[in-house]
Amino acid sequence: MSEYGNFCPVALASEVVADRWTPLIIRELVLGNTRFNDIARGLGGISRTLLVQRLRHLERKGVVETWPSPTGRGSEYHLTPAGKDLERVIDSLGRWAIEWLFDELRPHDVDAITLTWWMHRRIRPDRFPPRRTVVEFRHTSPTSQVLWLVLDRGEASVCQLHPGFDIDLTVTASTPALAEVFQGYAEWAEAVSDGRIEVGGTPRLAAALPSWFLWSPWHDVTRERSKRPEPA
């Protein structure tokens, strides 16, 4: 990363956080991902080599620190107090883009695996059913794919292979339809009502399902912006 000089605070901060991929890495850390593979899964397209470089850069700058993994295998990445203070910066960037670049956002471009990964980290464990619950997501387009979300003891796990448990709920939809709900362009109830999302399983669980997720951090901002008429 080139140095801009220390005479301007914006220039100084840019040397820390403005390189390619760095704000998105901080976003993943803000959202609670601490393991290398988990951070990588939330960043479709970044190479592992570049991710290592960026994490080392953030560590040198005092934004990230490395902790031994509780499992004894590998390390975890955690934000320092300076890194945690960047949460408001990341939030402001997202809000700014929604306000001023709304027409350039492409919510339909997200793939099924990335979307499911995003969903599993934006959960409300206090709303989970008391027993293990398995949700099967059948993505119909743009590519046909089946993924599973296992909710158990306050945690959610994404499975690309059948988890081996009974399926409690089945959600059938296109990836764009689910992405619109996650990001705030549509509400779950209206997508189910007009047939864009179909839910099969116990009615009680089907009705509770949307309450298990927090959706995107910018869901409400996007929802409000999508209702606002464009200037003539």
pLDDT of 225: 94
- Ranges of each domain in the chain: 9-100, 107-221
The kind and range of the H/E element at 138 are strand 133-139
pTM here? 0.88
pLDDT of 215: 96
Under-70 pLDDT residues of the chain: 1-2, 230-232
CATH domain 9-100 topology? Arc Repressor Mutant, subunit A (1.10.10)
pLDDT of 105: 92
120-138 pLDDT tens trace: 999 999 999 999 999 999 9
Nearest to 194 by CA among 170, 174, 209: 174
Q: State the Cα–Cα distance between residues 150 and 163, nearest whole angstrom.
A: 8
| Alpha helices for 63-210 (secondary structure H) | 81-84, 87-100, 112-121, 175-183, 188-193, 203-208
CATH C-level class of 107-221:
alpha beta
pLDDT of 231: 56
Asked if omega into 81 is within 30° of 0 (cis), the reply is no
Q: State the Cα–Cα distance between residues 105 and 121, nearest whole angstrom.
A: 22
92-110 pLDDT tens trace: 999 999 999 999 999 899 9
